[in-house]
Structure 1
Amino acid sequence: MPVREQSPAVERAEPRSVPALCLCAVLLVLLLPALVLYGQDVRTGAAFAVQCVVVAHTGGALARVLTDPLIRVVGFGFWLFCYVWLGLAPLAMLATDSYPWGFAVDAGTAFTSAVLTETGLLAYSAGSALAGRRTPRTRPVLEPLLTRRITPVRTLLLCGAALALAAVLVPAQGGPAAFFQSRQAVNEAAAQGDPGGAADQALAAWSLSVPAFWALLALLYVPRTPGGDRTLRGVRWILLPVLVAVNAVVNNPVSQPRFWAGTVLLTLVFAAPALRRPRAFRAGAAAVTAAVLLVFPYSDYFRHDKREPVEVLSLAEQFTSNGDYDAFQQIATGVDHVRENGHEIRDALGPPLFFVPRAVWPGKPDDAGVALARHAGYSFENLSAPLWIESYMWAGFPGVVAVFSLFGAAGRRIDGVRHRLREHGGTLAALAVTAFGFYQIILLRGSLLFVMGPLTLLLLVPVLTTGRPGRTVPEQLPEPHPEPPAGAGPDTGPAPASAAPRTAVSTTSTGEART
C-alpha cells in the first residue's frame, strides 16, 4: 500500500562558483563585445553609450544564469535572447550605423530605443529579484499545475490523434516531399494561392507540428507503473519509431522556422534526466549559447531554393546584414511609429483575443510586425515586433515597466517550481516549462498576434494530456535554500534535531517516485 512521503528536509543548494561567474562575465561583457567591434570604424554617441550598458546588463545576467546553482530554464531563454538580439547585435549596428533593413532612424530615435530596451531589462530584473526573495508558503496555482503528470492513457490518445492528423493533413499538403521544400518555395506557393487561406494553412501546419512534438515527448517520458506494464512497453516501442519519422517530416529545419525546430530539439534534449541536474544543465546551456553565436547565423542554409556556398562572416557583418537580428531596428521603427501615431492601449486586446475572427471583430488590431513594416514602407510584411516595442506602443514606458516586471516575477516563480521538481520526470515542470523556456525566444521576438496561436497549442496540449499527481508525489516540496555567501563551503555539520526525517524513495528511469 503506498504511503505518503513525509516532508523532506530543507534542500541546500550548492554555492555559486565565484571564479566561474567572473570568467563568464569577462567573456560575455568584455571579450565578445570587443570581438564584435574589432576592425570596425566605431561611431560613438549617446545611443552607443546606453547600448554598452545594455550589453553589460545582459551579459552579466546571462553569466549569473550560466553559473547559478539552481536550474533556471526560463531565465536562460530570456537572457540568451536579450544578450544576442538586443545586446551584441545593436552594438554592432550603432557602432557602424548599418542595419539589416532599409529604414533608417535618427540619433534621437536610436537613443530612445536603447533606453527603452534597458528599461524593460531593469523592470524584468526587478520583478525577478523580488520574486526570488519572497518565498510564498502557499502556491495556489503554479505548484498544482506544474506537478501534473502525463498519464499512459492520455499519452496513447494523443499519439493516436497526432498520427490521425498526420495521415489526413500531410497528403493534403502535398505529401512528405512538400515538407522538405525550402521556406522560400513554401512562401511562394502560399502567396500564389488564396490569400484568405493563409491563416488556414498556418493553422493546419501548427495542428500537425505541435501534437506530433508533444506525442513524441510524452511517449518518451511517460511514467511506468511500479510493477511494469508489458502492454504499454510494447505499444511504446511500436509507436516511437513512427512518431520519430512523423516529427522528422513535420518539424524538420528545412521548411520549418529555425526557432521552432530549435525549440523541438532543445526540449527533447533538456527534458532528459541527465540534463535535469544543475551541473549538467549549466554545461548544456553554455553549449547552446556557443551554438547560437557561432552556428545559428549559418543555419538558414535551406531557406532559399538556390543555395550559395556558405561564407564565413564576422559577427559584426552577420548582425548588421542578417534580417534575423532585426529586433533593435524594429524597436526603433516602432518608436518612430509612436511619435507619428501615438499610443493605442486598445491594441493590447489583440493578442489575448487572437482567436476572434476579423469577420466578427472588424476593428481587430493589426499584427504589430505588419504595422511596423507598413510604416517603414517595406514591400514585405513578415517581420518581428519585439515585446519591448509592442508594450511601448500600447502604453509607453509605463506599459514596458508593467509588462516586464510581471514577466520577470512569473519567470522566476516558474523556474523555482521546476527546480524543486527536477527529480520528477513526466511532469509539466520537466516538460512544459522546458518547452516554454526555449519557445520564449519566439515570444520575445514577436509579434504577439503571430505567436499566441502556437503558444496556446504548445501549452494547452500537455495540460490536456496530464493528470493530477498520485499519492506518491511529495505533498510538500522543499524550498530552495538561500544562496550562501561567496566563499562559504557546503554545510557538513550534523542535521538539526528538528529536521524532518527523509523517507527512502526510489525512482524509475523516468523520475517517477516510488515508496
Structure 2
Amino acid sequence: MGAGNEMNLRYMYATLLFLVAGGLLPLLFLPRSDWGQLDAPLVMSLAVLVYSAAMLSYPVAANKERILDMTFWLFAYVFLGLVPLVQLAESRFPWPDTYGDGTLVTAQLMTLAGLLAYHAGTLLGKPSKASPTAPGNPAADFAKPGGTRRFLVVSGLAILISGALLVQSGGIHSLFLPRNALQNVYETKSQGLIADQLIKVPVFVCLIFGLTLWKRRLFRSALPKLTTLLLLALCLVVSNPISNARYWFGSVMLTLCLLFVPWRRIGRFGWTAGYLLLFIVVFPYTDLFRNNLDGDIQTAGISDIFVQKGDYDAFQMSLNAVEYVGANGTTHGKQLLGALLFWVPRSLWEAKPLSSGQLLGEASGYFYTNLSCPLWAEGYLNGGLAGVVLLFAVYGFVSRRLQSKYEESRRLSTMSIYRIIVPFLSAYQVFLLRGDLMNALAYMSSFLLFAYLFARRSGGGSLRKSLRGSRSRSPGRTFAADRAGSAAFSRYTLSDITKR
C-alpha cells in the first residue's frame, strides 16, 4: 500500500472513530426525549465527551502510538464523559444521593479544567528535537554482557520469595479463594499489603524482562528460557482474577499485550476500539469473584450498569468532593501529603489522613467507604480548581516526557527501562486516574521500584565501563567498539538503525 493510500486510510479511521465516539454513542445512550431539554450540566458532559473523542481520534490520523495519552483520554471519555451523560439524563447515581445544579456545574468545570491542563502539560513536555539521548543513565540499557546471568539470579530470588510467602499465607489453595476471604490471613493490613506485593510484583517484573530479552533473541541457552516459562506460569497463578483485584489482573494482562502484541498489526484504531469495549462492556463483570466463586452473572443494560454499579462512581465522587470542599474548605495539600507518604505507618503518624475515597464516603454518610476518588477530585480536595490545574499540568508534562523516552527507545531499538515501565503505566493509569491516590500509589510504587532495581543491576556497571573508554571516539568507532564488546548487540548495526 502506498504512503498516500495509507494516510487516507488513517484519516478515514480517525473520522470514523470521532463520529462513533463523539456522535453515535451519545445518541445510543441518551434518550431521545432528553435532547430537547439539555441543561448546563448535560451540555458540559457533551463537551467533555466530544473533546475526549477528538483527542482519541487525532493520533489515529497522525499515526501516533502514544499509549499513555491513549488510556488517559479513554478514561476521560468513558468515566467522565459518557457515564455522567447517562447519570445526569436519568438523575440517578451509583450511590443514593442528590445534588444541586451548582454542584453539578462545578464538578464539570473541574473535569474540563483538568483535561485542558493535562493537554497543556503534554505540549509543554514535548522535548526539543535537538535534545540528545542521555548516555550516562545506568538504567538506559539493561541487556549488557552478564545480563542473562543477573536475570537468572534475580529471577531465582523472586521465585523463592514468592514461594516462601505463598506457603506462609496458606499455600496455592489460598490463591483461589475470593478476595474478601483473604483479608484475615495476616494480622494487620500493612503486613498483608507487603506480603501481597512481594508475592506478585518481583515475579511480574522478572517475567517482563525475561520475555523482552527472549523476544530480542538475547538468550543463548535453554536455562533462561525455562526460567522465563516458569515465571510466566507463576505470574498467571499468583495474579489470577479470582483472588486479585481487577486493577492488578487487568494491568498484568494489558501490559503483556502492549509489550508483545505488534502495535502496527492492530493499529491505534483497533487498540482504542478494544479499550472502549473493555471499559464499557467487560469491566463491570470482572468482579464476579469478589465475595464467592459462584460467578453468577446477572445481565443488565449498559445504561442501567452506569447508574447502578459503583464501578462507575468517578463523576459522583467528584460531586462529593465539591460538596466536601464547600462545607469544610480544601485540605491545603494534606490529602496529597498522606498519599505520597502512604508508607508511613499510622502508629508513627497518628494524624495521617484517611484515603480520599474513605474521607468522602464517611463525609457523605455512606455505609460502604472503600470507594474510588478520581484524580480530579484529589486535586480539588487539596487546592480547589487551582489544585486541579496544577496537578494535571504536572501530570501531563511528566506523561509526555515518559512517552518521548519510550518512543525514542523504540526508534533506536535500545533495551531501555522506559520500554518496560511505560506500557505498565499505560495499563495501570486507568486505576491511578480512578483512584483513590493513596492506594494507587502504594501498589504502583512497588512495580516501579523493582523495575528500576532490576534494570540498574542488570546493566549499570557494564554500561558505565563501556562509556568511559569511548568518549573520545567518533560515533562510528564507538558503535564498533561497543559491538565488539557485546555479542548480544551484534545484530544492531549503525546501518540497521539508520534504516529504521
Correspondence 1:239 to 2:235 = no
Correspondence 1:205 to 2:196 = yes
Amino acid aligned to 1:418: Y
Distance 2:202 2:339 in 1: 22
1:401-449 deviation digits (Å, cap 9, x = unpaired) = 1111111122122212212221536421221111111111111111111
Distance 1:304 1:508 in 2: 52
Counterpart of 1:183 in structure 2 is: 179
Counterpart of 2:241 in structure 1 is: 253
Correspondence 1:455 to 2:447 = no
Distance 2:309 2:407 in 1: 36
Whether the 8 Å contact between 1:103 and 1:333 is mirrored in structure 2 is no
Q: TM-score, normalised by structure 1?
A: 0.82
Cα offset, 1:377, TM superposition: 1.1
Amino acid aligned to 2:80: L
Correspondence 1:147 to 2:140 = yes
Q: Note closer, same or farther for the CA distance 1:311–1:224 as it changes in structure 2 (3 Å cut).
A: closer
Correspondence 1:313 to 2:300 = yes
Distance 2:366 2:489 in 1: 50
Distance 1:133 1:159 in 2: 35
Cα offset, 1:172, TM superposition: 1.6
1:153-211 deviation digits (Å, cap 9, x = unpaired) = 33223311221122211122221121112224335x46xx74xx012112211121111
1:271 is paired with a residue of what secondary structure? helix
Counterpart of 2:472 in structure 1 is: none
Correspondence 1:270 to 2:258 = yes
Cα offset, 1:245, TM superposition: 2.3
Distance 1:470 1:59 in 2: 43
Counterpart of 1:440 in structure 2 is: 429
How large is the RMSD of aligned CA atoms in angstroms? Answer: 3.3
Whether the 8 Å contact between 2:205 and 2:451 is mirrored in structure 1 is yes
Distance 1:221 1:26 in 2: 37
Aligned equivalent of 2:86, options 67, 71, 92 = 92
Amino acid aligned to 1:242: L
Whether the 8 Å contact between 2:141 and 2:463 is mirrored in structure 1 is no
Listed as ranges, the matches of 1:57-456 within 5 Å are 57-132=51-126, 134-135=128-129, 137-138=131-132, 144=137, 147-150=140-143, 151-187=147-183, 189=184, 194=187, 197-222=188-213, 230=220, 233-272=221-260, 274-275=262-263, 277=264, 280=267, 282-305=269-292, 307=294, 309-347=296-334, 348-422=336-410, 424=413, 426-456=415-445
* Stretch moving more, 445-454 or 291-300: 291-300
1:513 is paired with a residue of what secondary structure? coil
Higher RCO (C-alpha under 8 Å, 6+ residues apart): 1
Whether the 8 Å contact between 1:223 and 1:425 is mirrored in structure 2 is no
Listed as ranges, the matches of 1:465-476 within 5 Å are 465-466=454-455, 467-468=459-460, 470=463
Cα offset, 1:241, TM superposition: 3.1
The size of the alignment, in residue pairs, is 466
Counterpart of 2:16 in structure 1 is: 23
Amino acid aligned to 1:379: F
Whether the 8 Å contact between 2:320 and 2:360 is mirrored in structure 1 is yes
Identity %: 29
Amino acid aligned to 2:454: T
Whether the 8 Å contact between 1:28 and 1:63 is mirrored in structure 2 is no
Distance 2:337 2:490 in 1: 41
Distance 2:153 2:77 in 1: 41
Counterpart of 2:25 in structure 1 is: 32
Q: Note closer, same or farther for the CA distance 1:22–1:176 as it changes in structure 2 (3 Å cut).
A: same
Cα offset, 1:132, TM superposition: 3.4
Amino acid aligned to 2:95: W
Whether the 8 Å contact between 1:385 and 1:446 is mirrored in structure 2 is yes
Counterpart of 2:473 in structure 1 is: none
2:262 is paired with a residue of what secondary structure? helix
Distance 2:168 2:376 in 1: 39
Q: TM-score, normalised by structure 2?
A: 0.84
Distance 1:229 1:262 in 2: 28
Amino acid aligned to 1:131: G
Cα offset, 1:508, TM superposition: 11
1:358 is paired with a residue of what secondary structure? coil
Q: Note closer, same or farther for the CA distance 1:335–1:154 as it changes in structure 2 (3 Å cut).
A: farther
Cα offset, 1:511, TM superposition: 11
Distance 1:23 1:281 in 2: 13
Whether the 8 Å contact between 2:59 and 2:268 is mirrored in structure 1 is no
Distance 1:86 1:225 in 2: 40
Amino acid aligned to 2:76: C
Whether the 8 Å contact between 2:148 and 2:224 is mirrored in structure 1 is no
Whether the 8 Å contact between 2:14 and 2:269 is mirrored in structure 1 is no
Distance 2:405 2:162 in 1: 35
1:165 is paired with a residue of what secondary structure? helix
Cα offset, 1:510, TM superposition: 10
Q: Note closer, same or farther for the CA distance 1:21–1:133 as it changes in structure 2 (3 Å cut).
A: farther
Cα offset, 1:73, TM superposition: 1.2
Distance 1:229 1:511 in 2: 13
Amino acid aligned to 2:313: D
Distance 2:300 2:51 in 1: 26
- Higher relative helix content: 2
Whether the 8 Å contact between 1:426 and 1:510 is mirrored in structure 2 is no
Whether the 8 Å contact between 1:386 and 1:445 is mirrored in structure 2 is yes
